[in-house]
Chain A
Amino acid sequence: MIPDLSLIVPELAMAVLGLMVLIFGLIIPRGSRHGLGWFAALALLGVTGLVLAGWNNGGNLYGNLYVVDQFSQFFKITFLLAAFLVVLGSMRYVDRHLGGQSEYYSILIFATLGMMVMSSANDFMTMYLGLELMTISFIILVCFRRLEAKSLESGMKYVLLAGMSSAVLLYGLSLVYGITGTVVISEVGKILAMRAPLPLLMLGVVMLVAGLGFKISAVPFHMWSPDIYEGAPTPITAFLAVGSKAASFAILIRIFVVGMFGISLNWELLLAILAAVTIIVGNLVAIPQTNIKRLLAYSSIAQAGYILVGLVTASQDGVKGVLFYAFLYVFATVGAFTVASHFYNVTGSDEIKDYAGLAQRSPLMAAVMVVAMLSMAGIPPLAGFVGKFYLFMTIVENYLWLAFIGLIMSMVSVYYYLRVALVMYRNDPLDSTPIAVSAPVTVTLVVAMAVTLFLGIYPGPVAEVVNNAAHSFFMH
């Protein structure tokens, strides 16, 4: 029997698109490939359209190994929009620093495909498949500047650490499989709900937390991320911070909230402590940073801590909070990294002190940076405020201490975000030539800023969508 492939049209389209871009790159002579970025970007938008068209069209495939529900579709839209913005923002970077290599776009598309598979996977094998597709694509992308030592170094680090974390994760999965005898996550959930937790299962849970904690860069598994964020090409850093993290959250939610729901009392506190430590360390270590990419890396560690807060209660409201926050986090992060990337293109520097007077050189870039950072800090009327409201709403009853830590630390984060604002707004530029912003970068920046503002002022419609998505997640 041929399965109903209409459910995975977006995934098929992505695979075709990735190959197509690869072949186009071979046919088109070097030097006239500038349009390829536009093509990839628009095609990604088209695939987003495909996902939207199938929004109400849920179901499962291959004997429940692959689930298409609104939860996974919402994540797919998030990944695709992130990929779209990253591609737009990186065209100039590709031309200038990566020698116009067309494989860049193709691999980026495959990484996105990996994420899409992860968000829909309902069994450990499929999930792992998606995860590795994404990770291997990222390894290539991280060391794409193959003549730069820093880029190669971070690629090497990523290979080793990603390999190790995958091993830990696999070991955890194999333990869970050994106990339950199935790899289908919803089956695991049914079996575990009826059984008293064994110590061996707890070991498996800890392994899973460690393996996935690495992917979302939760403290104490975060060591890799500042180095790799700093060394990777900046647009890739953005995609790594956004896409890889969001996709890992998708599987984290599915494994824990569906698979481990029956034993949630055993891991809720563990995740709460993990979230608290991540928020505290991420924010505090960000304070002394002088490199914008490292600063954003630590702040994105802290952001992962905030998203974890939504998982602590394993409730529909919590999942809703995670979805909402992941969505807004995409726009804020891509906005901030695109500014950093464009700034690097023009000045060749990532040092915060060189951002002096950016407000006079390019008001748009400075404004986007401030808006993005303050959204991450949760200052209204930006999206981050609403996002944090949704997240912390779920924990004030049982984990009030975590709400205190989270909100106080987010005010602490304002301190280092404002230092960047200080440099950009108060200081006079050393070199006062205006920075020209090219059309695709402008689109990325304006979209990032507009969405961040809009979600902050009028979150109603998106809140309803994520509400339905979270609801669909709890249906089965």
Chain B
Amino acid sequence: MNGFPVLTTILLAPVAAALIMTFIPRNESKLIKCIAAVGTFVSMALSLYVYFSYDTALGGLQFAEKIPWIRDLGVNWFLAVDGISLPMLLLTNLIGFSAVFASWNVDNRPREFFILLCLLITGVMGTFVAHDLFIFLLFYEVVVIPIYILVIIWGSSKRVTKEYAGMKLTIYLLIGSAFLLVGVIAFFVKAAGVLGQPNMSFTALAEAGKQLSAFDQTWLFALMLFGFGSLVSMWPFHSWSPDGYAGAPTAVSMIHAGVLKKIGGYGLVKIALYMLPVGAKFWAPYMAVLGVAGVTYAAFAALAQKDLKYIVGYSSVSHMGYVMLAIGSFSVIGINGAVANMFAHGVMAALFFSTVGFIYEKTHTRWIPDLGGLARQVPRLAVAFMLAALASLGLPGLISFIPEFTIFVASFKVYGGLAVIGIAGIILTALYALRAGANTLFGPPREEYDHLEDIRGPEMVPLVVLGTVLVVGGILPSLLFDMVNSGAATLMTHVESAVKLGGVFK
């Protein structure tokens, strides 16, 4: 497949599906769903192919495609993957494909729903395959509008109205990205000054970035930290996350918690840290502190929730705290842990949200006191729920154990006591995850739920796809870690050499 633009194909398959859907009569919902499934399946199959044919021994950028795009800004249509972006790409497609099936029962205006969903998936994928900062930004904000419309039409109003949730998600993301944009534009102009010509490719910007003065790197990094940090729900900019997920329809919660917020973590590693190493070094301790604060704060908040979606929402904030802690540890092992944990949490959160979505769809409630004993009535759903809950607390044998362990190893070496507080968060996680499982699934079955049908047919797809990844990733962690390590090692070599240089003092 030499020369075949496989990344562009992955990117455009859902767009093609969306285009085809616009021509299908709006009431043929089964056909629309099938087309969405095919579009996302093509992307998933191709990204699996790319994942397994990526040469980790060789490392670096592979499957690169480069077409000149905007000459006077030095922008190229430059798509490529490395060990950090490839797991994220795969994650997006696994979740995207599952999300289509998790929405199999959407019957209110299905055509618009699946068109927007496909565009959303494309937007997320685009950020992970772009190797050009401008192209990255194009995709970075593309997702905002589909999400807003998906939430306000198909969302649910429980504790907060869906209009409120949608607007909160949007405004947080946009204000964050306004600061990010200022940072990126200022950085780009400075980098063009260093390079002598405008260039937007990650590699060139990283070369230019390390030659900036320590002062410049520090304030530019701060802007990016705010932008990416609010997307990754870094404490104290996390409050959009539980409300937003609670208001969003299942598929949006899956994609948002599963991959979209990972764009924040990915951007911090692949853009902010990579391009502004001295700035990153300065802010690393602050990131670690905010990370631990997020872990504990959100875990306590999750303990107090009675709405299933809020529990998963706060748990995702808590897990992203580990990612911040890991990035703050500023080492290869830490970055390994951060990226792997984003992958692991993505799979788990998506599975969690899809099961919660099915429970809500069937019982019409997410309120834990109203639930109980569902394991008898809907055993398959219960299996999915428990898998996600156990992965969430980092049970060995499931995918998230090793990433979390790695993070603790890396952060303990640097921060000691702080890391211990972070590790203690696991206990709280176990408490709320197991309690939610116990109160929802076990105990005496309730009569009013006797008529429930267990998930079957297309509804099984999220469980099968994501559950398989959870288990396989736990048993064969090298599948994930070899890949991540090949990317993180290259990145940190660059960063450490740049930090030694210490920025240019002017």
Contacts and interface: CB of A to CB of B under 8 A. Distances in A.
Given A396-B182, A459-B70, A460-B70, 11 more contacts: A379-B144, A389-B73, A403-B186, A407-B181, A425-B149, A425-B152, A426-B152, A426-B163, A458-B69, A460-B69, A464-B71
B138 A411 contact: no
Contacts of B178: 404, 407-408, 410-411
B367 to A, nearest CB: 25
Contact of B138 (A407, A457, A463): A457
Contacts of A410: 178
Contact of B142 (A380, A422, A464, A467): A380
Contacts of B179: 404, 407-408
B70 A411 contact: no
A28 to B, nearest CB: 41
A418 B141 contact: no
Contacts of B152: 422, 425-426
Contacts of B189: 393, 396-397
A302 to B, nearest CB: 15
A256 interface: no
8 contacts: A374-B145, A380-B141, A393-B188, A410-B178, A411-B174, A426-B152, A460-B71, A467-B72
When A and B form their complex, which 3 residue pairs have the shortest distance between CB atoms, in order from nearest?
A: A411-B174, A396-B186, A407-B178
Given A379-B145, A396-B186, A400-B182, A415 B137 contact: no
Interface in B144-160: 144-145, 148-149, 152-153
B185 interface: yes
Given A393-B185, A407-B182, A414-B174, A421 B149 contact: yes
A400 B186 contact: yes
A332 to B, nearest CB: 15
Give the interface residue-count category, chain A.
35 or more
B438 interface: no
A41 interface: no
B186 A380 contact: no
Contacts of A411: 171, 174-175, 177-178
Interface in B163-208: 163, 167, 170-171, 174-175, 177-179, 181-182, 185-186, 188-189
A460 B68 CA distance: 9
B167 A464 contact: no
B138 A381 contact: yes
Contacts of A414: 144, 170-171, 174
Nearest to B174: A411
Interface string B266-305: 0000000000000000000000000000000000000000
A341 B323 CA distance: 51
Contacts of A425: 149, 152-153
Contact of B153 (A426, A458, A464): A426
Nearest to A403: B182
Contacts of A458: 69
A380 B181 CA distance: 12
B185 A418 contact: no
A114 to B, nearest CB: 32
A380 B144 CA distance: 10
A272 to B, nearest CB: 16
A328 interface: no
Contacts of B137: 380, 385
A397 B179 CA distance: 16
A33 to B, nearest CB: 37
Interface in A415-469: 415, 418, 421-422, 425-426, 456-460, 463-464, 467
A400 B174 CA distance: 19
A214 interface: no
| Interface hub of A379, A403, A411, A463 (most chain B Cβ within 10 A) | A411
Contact of A463 (B70, B140, B167, B171): B70
A392 interface: yes
Contacts of B182: 392, 396, 400, 403-404, 407
A258 interface: no
Nearest to A411: B174
A381 B185 CA distance: 17
B321 to A, nearest CB: 26
A271 interface: no
A456 B141 CA distance: 13
Interface string B67-82: 0111111000000000
A193 to B, nearest CB: 27
B240 to A, nearest CB: 14
A83 interface: no
Given A396-B186, A403-B182, A411-B177, A418 B170 contact: yes
A374 B143 CA distance: 13
A389 B163 contact: no
Interface string A393-413: 100110010011001101100
A11 B152 CA distance: 50
Nearest to A457: B138
A418 B175 contact: no
Nearest to A374: B145
Interface in B99-154: 112, 134, 137-142, 144-145, 148-149, 152-153
A40 interface: no
A464 B72 contact: yes
Of B69, B72, B171, B181, which is in contact with the most chain A CB atoms at under 10 Å from its CB? B181
A415 B167 CA distance: 8
B185 A385 contact: no
A38 B139 CA distance: 39
Contacts of A457: 138
Interface string A337-372: 000000000000000000000010000000000100
B138 A380 contact: yes
A391 to B, nearest CB: 10
Contacts of B175: 408, 411
Nearest to B180: A407
A410 B178 CA distance: 8
A464 B68 CA distance: 13
Contacts of A415: 167, 171
Nearest to B171: A415
A386 B185 CA distance: 12
Nearest to B148: A418
A458 B175 CA distance: 26
Contacts of B68: 460
A408 B174 CA distance: 8
A389 B185 contact: yes
Nearest to A388: B181
A408 B180 CA distance: 10
A422 B70 contact: no
Nearest to A397: B189
Contacts of A463: 70-73
Contacts of A418: 148, 167, 170
A438 to B, nearest CB: 21
Interface in B332-363: none
Q: Count chain A CB atoms within 10 A of each CB in B175, B177, B182, B189 and give the residue with the most.
A: B182
A369 to B, nearest CB: 13
Which of A381, A397, A400 has the most B CB atoms < 10 Å from its CB? A381
Nearest to A466: B72
Contacts of A389: 73, 134, 185
B185 to A, nearest CB: 5
A411 B227 CA distance: 13
A396 B72 CA distance: 17
Nearest to A425: B149
A60 B152 CA distance: 57
Nearest to B138: A380
B328 to A, nearest CB: 26
Nearest to A419: B167
A463 B70 CA distance: 8
A471 B423 CA distance: 60
Given A403-B185, A404-B182, A407-B181, A381 B167 contact: no
A414 B182 CA distance: 17
Given A403-B182, A403-B186, A385 B141 contact: yes
A101 to B, nearest CB: 39
